[in-house]
Amino acid sequence: MLNFKKVVKRYGKITALHSTNLHIVAEKTTVLIGPSGCGKSTLLRLIAGLETPDEGEIRFAGTPLAPSNINELRHRMGYVIQEGGLFPHFTAERNVTLMARQLNWPGERINHRLDELTDLVHLPERLLHHYPNELSGGQRQRISLMRALMLDPDLLLLDEPLGALDPLIRYELQQELKEIFDRLDKTVVMVTHDIAEAAFFGHSLVLMRDGKVVQHGPFQELAHQPAESFVAHFVEAQRKQLMNLSQALS
């Protein structure tokens, strides 16, 4: 589905992403993980066409991403940013259907898709008439997911979509998101800093550090066959953090 070939991204003198080769498999969930500033969100923004590589090439379903085709290809991508990014002056329904209206979908088609999505994310229909500030954090994230899925994209991109939620709501949405991913069979690329969340969602994990891919593979490989000491340290540090929290609460 996605292929990176020697992709480099710089911001001034800072190299956010060093020469990167990466293949992301279709109809699977790939999770980008690593410490803050490691390049995972930069990589996601490059896929979405929000940033342009300084070197190298990104192919989406065999087609190189380029300024000439990025608007067309974005219609095949859904993007959920941190904290949802809903337009505060639009109702939930208007947020969800914005792109479909821009593309002049017939009203009947829009309403049918809206019904499908409210059922998919278990959102009460009455909430579609509310504004974002009238919704809970979990409800806003459901609306953001609906918006990302409105055009039935091939690729779904999520940048720490659950990071701002309280633990209980986050846990509930994790379960629901996993069910949705399994049901839709879409290609998903997700950013998180939480190794447990990455292991829960990801068929494959991409662990990054300092703008480089350190290891790419299933969680079990990272946990039991680390490519270098940093991988083992990263996994173990998060395990210890969870254990210490468990002990503190017991």
Q: What is the CATH number of the domain that holds 51?
A: 3.40.50.300
Q: Answer whether residue 45 is part of any domain.
A: yes
Residue 34 has pLDDT above 80, yes or no: yes
pLDDT, tens digit, for every residue of 124-181? 999 999 999 999 888 999 999 999 999 999 999 999 888 767 777 788 888 889 999 9
**How much is the pTM?**
0.90
Alpha-carbon 193 to chain mean position? 12
| pLDDT surpasses 50 at 246 | no
Q: Is position 178 within any domain?
A: no
In a domain? residue 213: yes
Number of domains in the chain: 2
Are 161 and 145 part of one and the same domain?
A: no
pLDDT higher at 241 or 146? 146
What was the pLDDT predicted at 18? Answer: 97
Q: Are residues 68 and 110 in the same domain?
A: no
Higher local confidence (pLDDT), 250 or 12: 12
Cα distances (angstroms) measured from residue 41 to each of 35, 150, 151, 176, 214 = 11, 23, 23, 23, 16
Predicted pLDDT at 241: 58
Domain that holds residue 134: 83-152
Query: Are 72 and 190 members of one domain?
Result: yes
Report the C-alpha gap between 184 and 147 in whole angstroms: 15
For residue 242, pLDDT over 60 is answered with no
> What does the pLDDT read at residue 245?
42
Is residue 23 predicted with pLDDT exceeding 80? yes
Q: Are residues 52 and 92 in the same domain?
A: no
Q: Are strands 155-159 and 77-80 parallel, antiparallel or unpaired?
A: parallel
User: Residue 236: pLDDT band by 50, 70, 90 thresholds?
Assistant: confident
- Do residues 166 and 200 lie in contact, with contact meaning Cβ atoms separated by under 8 Å? no
Tell whether the model's pLDDT for residue 200 goes beyond 60: yes
